[in-house]
Amino acid sequence: MIEGQGSLLHPSFAGVSLGLLHGSQPDAFVVCHEPTRSTMRGVSTPIPSIQEIIDLNIQFGRLTNPDIRCVGLAINTMMLSENHAKNLIEELSEEHKLPATDPVRFGTDPIIDHICAEFKLV
């Protein structure tokens, strides 16, 4: 399990993020997203779409692991009402055909269950 806080598209962290992606050769990754933010932290660069992030991580990750795949979405809904948060999580899950949750607010079970099923760990 590797944790990274950068982004392949963040001007300040792209190099470190790419190094972590290539060096760890992950089988799976979870995309984190904060829906109320319009730019990346500390810079004026717009936040790319979730699909762009998934596609880019797969494209770059295939250099060291051709089987890399996205297994879930972690959505930071701290700034949203509970009802709005649940609706957004459901919409994003359906749109991307992946489990989505706010791990702090609602727990990690949807993503963990998907990882276990995907990798036949249960």
pLDDT at 122 over 80: no
State residue 28's pLDDT score: 96
What pLDDT, on a 0 to 100 scale, did the predictor assign at position 121?
A: 92
Kindly report, residue by residue over 72-104, the tens digit of the pLDDT: 999 999 999 999 999 999 999 999 999 999 999
Residue 107: the pLDDT is 98
The DSSP H or E segment spanning 73 is strand 69-75
Long-range contact set of residues 106-112: C-beta below 8 Å, sequence gap at least 24: 110/72, 111/30, 111/71, 111/72, 111/73, 111/74
pLDDT of residue 77: 98
Sorted by sequence, the CB contacts under 8 Å of residue 72 that are 6+ apart come out as 30, 31, 98, 99, 100, 101, 110, 111, 114, 115
Give me the long-range contacts of 20-23 (CB less than 8 A, separation at least 24): 21/57, 21/60, 21/61, 21/64, 22/60, 22/61, 22/63, 22/64, 23/64
Residue 1 is predicted with a pLDDT of: 73
Domain ranges of the chain: 14-118
Domain 14-118, architecture per CATH: 3-Layer(aba) Sandwich (3.40)
CA-only gyration radius of the chain, Å: 14
Give tens-digit pLDDT for 15-50: 999 999 999 999 999 999 999 999 998 999 999 999
